[in-house]
Amino acid sequence: MANQNTAVAAKKKSSLDKLGGQKFIVILVIIALFLFFSVMSANFRKYTTIVSILDYSYYIVLMSIGVTFPLITGGVDLSIGTGLICYSLVGGYLISFHNFPVWGGMLVTVLFGVAIGLVNGTLVAVMDIPPFLVTLCTCMITRGLGAIIVGGFGITWPTATQPGGWFRNIFKISIDARTKIPIGIVWVLILVAVMSFVLNHTKIGRYTIGIGSNKEAARLSGVNVKFYHIMAYVISGLFAGLAAIAYSAVFATVQPGTGAGFELEAIGGAIIGGVSASGGAGSVTGSLLGVFVICLLKTGLPFIGLQANWQQIITGLVLIGAVLIDVIKKRREVH
């Protein structure tokens, strides 16, 4: 009996290692990348660079928090990138041309995201269409829809000096021209904490994991699987809407037809952060860390003279590495 106890304990410990393990590796990678770029480039280690890395990370982090949920169910949401641009265009358009107050435009932006999430979720959970197909379709639809609604032109949300420009301070407080406080990181961390709680300590999270782990077993336990499956996509849409606001606050203009590829950075970040490619496992904090790896590569590589195409290649290689870790882990579990 005593032997058995220690065996169980040992096994448990190694599984904890596995969970914390990947995050631990990712943190090390982040530190290593940061040190590497700092040593290689004097410009990189400037305060303004760090602020701009954070600036450009918010919308990807927010998308990544949301998309973690469909990923854990074993699905995916490809519509968040073009969706983000679509929601931002519509919100900004209402503010600029229809005298919506800024908060009203922001609300529409977020609600639009929730609505597309609801469409995605319903098609996946109720109509039983593969998530890849559903969200690929809504990806294309939102891409066209945003451009049509605004008439094909770029949209500018109020600038910091215009009335209504206050919303840009949500993410970055300007003390003077040079000193800026990246306050957005605080909101992002709060949202990470909240969604971490939702994933680990509420029914929504528990059943999201259940669906990804063994959907039939979850159904046989009497859980309203369809509802919670839809909720995963609604959360993804909600956070795509929040990401749209972060994007609007950081960038001067929003261009129709862009946004394709953003989702890959968010999904890539989540997978680097330990979301299992086959569903069931993953964490919000892991996704956050994973996105930082991608953002560091994206902003750091130009400083050492590697341009956009190289970023893509290196990010792709890092992703393959992360997925391989997951696959090898699985294979070891089987044996």
Q: Which residues bind another protein (CB under 8 A)?
A: 1, 4-5, 8-9, 11-12, 15, 197, 201-203, 206, 209-210, 212-214, 216-218, 220-223, 280-281, 333
Q: How many residues does the chain have?
A: 335
**Cβ 81 to another protein shortest distance, Å:** 28
Q: Which amino acid is at 166?
A: W
Beta bridge partners of 253: 156
Least distance CB 8 / another protein (angstroms): 6
For 155, phi and psi rounded to 5 degrees? Answer: -115, 135
Given CA atoms 79, 81, 86, 91 in this order, what sign does their dihedral have? positive
Select 11 or 46, whichever has its Cβ closest to another protein. 11
Q: Which lies closer to another protein via its Cβ, residue 12 or residue 46?
A: 12
SS3 116: helix
Which spans in 1-101 are helix H? 2-40, 47-72, 80-97
Which CB atom, from 176 or from 333, has the smaller least distance to another protein? Answer: 333
Q: Which of 67, 94, 97, 69 is nearest to 80 (CA)?
A: 67
Nearest residue (CB) to another protein, 126 versus 194: 194
Nearest approach, Cβ of residue 1 and another protein (Å): 6
Q: How many CB atoms lie within 10 A of CB 78?
A: 24
Q: Which is nearer to another protein, 208 or 315 (CB)?
A: 208
Long-range contacts of 45-49 (CB under 8 A, 24+ apart): 48/178, 48/180, 49/299, 49/303
Q: How far is the CB of 3 from another protein (least distance, A)?
A: 11
In whole angstroms, what separates CA 123 from the centre of its chain? 22
- Smallest gap from Cβ 232 to another protein, in A, equals 15
**Minimum distance, C-beta of residue 71 to another protein, in the bound complex (Å):** 13
The span from the CA of 117 to the CA of 229, in Å, is 11
Q: In the bound complex, what is the minimum distance in angstroms from residue 186's beta carbon to another protein?
A: 23
Nearer to another protein, 9 or 320 (CB): 9
Nearer Cβ to another protein (103/197): 197
| For another protein, the closer CB: 97 or 197 | 197
| Rounded Cα gap, residues 49 and 229, in angstroms | 40
The CA–CA distances, whole Å, from 194 to 80, 170, 220, 265 equal 20, 18, 29, 22
**Using CA atoms, how far apart are residues 166 and 232, in angstroms rounded to an integer?**
32
Minimum Å distance from CB 213 to another protein? 4
N-to-C CA span, the chain: 24
